[in-house]
Amino acid sequence: MKTALITGVTGQDGSYLAELLLEKGYNVHGIKRRASSFNTQRIDHLYQDQHEQNVHFTLHYGDLTDSMNIIRIIQEVQPDEIYNLGAMSHVKVSFDSPEYVANVDGIGTLRILEAVRILGLEKKTRIYQASTSELYGGLPENKNAAGFYDENSPFYPRSPYGAAKIYGFWITKNYREAYGMFACNGILFNHESPRRGETFVTRKITMATAAIAKGKQECLYLGNLNALRDWGHAKDYVEAMWRILQQDKPEDFVIATGVTTSVRDFVRMAFNEIGVELSFEGENESEVAKVAACNNPLYQLEIGKKVVSVDPEYYRPTEVDLLIGDPTKSKTQLGWEPKYDLQALVKEMVEGDLKLE
């Protein structure tokens, strides 16, 4: 039976990955941060009382800014695999807390790698680093000939988050080359789910769609509607993380769907799920979306009602305009194939938020 340690286990990906590894028969350990109230909603269904027999899921208090804590937990757990998913993961917020993000997302990765080395576990412990499509920065000239970002495309991060994650990427690669460690980067494009944090754009849209349908919210305020993202489902993406660590050789992989969609079209798709067609009017800061047709007897929204407005407050100082990934290597080498398309993802998210409402 293998043992895995997940940092960021309370987050979207951590919760799906913990489920997947438990299903595969792993002993799963997770690091959670102490907070003034419980922050374990995403993993409460996995909780096991430590007094029971055959406990396979264990939580440890910890923080990626605390080297001693990281060393102690790794020493205690002696993991076969570490998935370093812990991060301050919000790009816009990273402009407000750049030093903290550098410490957690950048140096935090070093703390994991160095702890494994200090403890002499280089040959035993495989490490997955949660790298990101934010490394590319969306520069058009850096796409490959076919128009995608792949494992060989140059990086140009456009936020303190991206800059911190680029350190995480390179230090992971460096420890692999310098010390022969099985340390890999998954360069994951955006992935979402009903468990997505409420302030990321997809979840913000699906929550607002549900609340507007039920008459509990008037209008949804968003930033850049023109941004294009390659959105997949988190469940599919945690499967890829696991596959990356089961290879014979440590390597880096892009995980993406190869399809890109604008924020505006995501809004359109979410409202379609409640039978509402939208018409978009205006440009940039004056852009709004109004109800053009309403075909669902359950949710009677007034034709012409303004349901989306642009608020420049949500613009970023520097924006990543377009992301689209090339998953060829992961498909051929990992045998990875996403099960969800965007339509199915939007449907699941809107249905989830309608239930919560």
Q: Does position 65 bind ligand NDP by CB under 6 A?
A: yes
Extract the tokens encoding 288. Answer: 């709004």
Size of the site for ligand GDR (CB under 6 A): 22
Place of tokens 């923080």: 63
How many angstroms separate the CA atoms of 161 and 251, rounded? 23
How many residues are there in the chain? 357
Residue 177 annotated as catalytic: no
Residue 100 annotated as catalytic: no
Q: How many helices (H) does the chain have, and how many strands (E)? A: 11, 15
Q: Does position 158 bind ligand GDR by CB under 6 A?
A: no
**R_g (Cα) of the chain, nearest Å:** 21
Which DSSP string do the residues of 230-244 spell out, in sequence order? --EEHHHHHHHHHHH
Residue 287 or 319 having the CB closest to ligand NDP: 319
Place of tokens 């940092």: 7
Residue 202 annotated as catalytic: no
Question: With CB under 6 A as the contact rule, which of the stretches 188-196, 312-320, 336-344, 345-353 interacts with ligand NDP?
Answer: 188-196
Say if residues 5 and 73 touch (Cβ distance below 8 Å): yes
Of 19, 81, 134, 348, catalytic: 134
Question: With CB under 6 A as the contact rule, which of the stretches 87-95, 109-117, 287-295, 346-354 interacts with ligand NDP?
Answer: 87-95
Residue 145 neighbours by CB under 8 Å, 6+ apart = none
Question: With CB under 6 A as the contact rule, which of the stretches 224-232, 268-276, 292-300, 343-351 interacts with ligand GDR?
Answer: 224-232
Q: Mark residues 2-21: x for contact with ligand NDP by CB under 6 A, - for none.
A: -----xx-xxxxx-------
Q: Report the residue from 43, 70, 85, 276 that binds ligand NDP according to the rule CB under 6 A.
A: 85
Interaction partner, residue 156 (ligand NDP, ligand GDR, none; CB < 5-8 Å by kind): none
Extract the tokens encoding 205. Answer: 């849209």
Classify residue 331 as exposed, middle or buried by CB count within 10 Å of its CB (0-12, 13-18, 19+).
Answer: middle
Residue 188 neighbours by CB under 8 Å, 6+ apart = 130, 131, 132, 133, 237, 240, 255, 256
Q: Does position 209 bind ligand NDP by CB under 6 A?
A: no
Of 149, 161, 237, 299, catalytic: 161
Question: With CB under 6 A as the contact rule, which of the stretches 116-124, 223-231, 245-253, 280-288 interacts with ligand GDR?
Answer: 223-231
Phi and psi, residue 62, nearest 5°: -175, 175
Binding footprint of ligand GDR on the chain (CB under 6 A): 89, 91-92, 132-134, 189-190, 199-201, 204, 222-224, 227, 229, 263, 314, 316, 319-320
Binding footprint of ligand NDP on the chain (CB under 6 A): 7-8, 10-14, 31, 33, 39, 63-65, 85-89, 104, 130, 132, 188, 190-191, 197
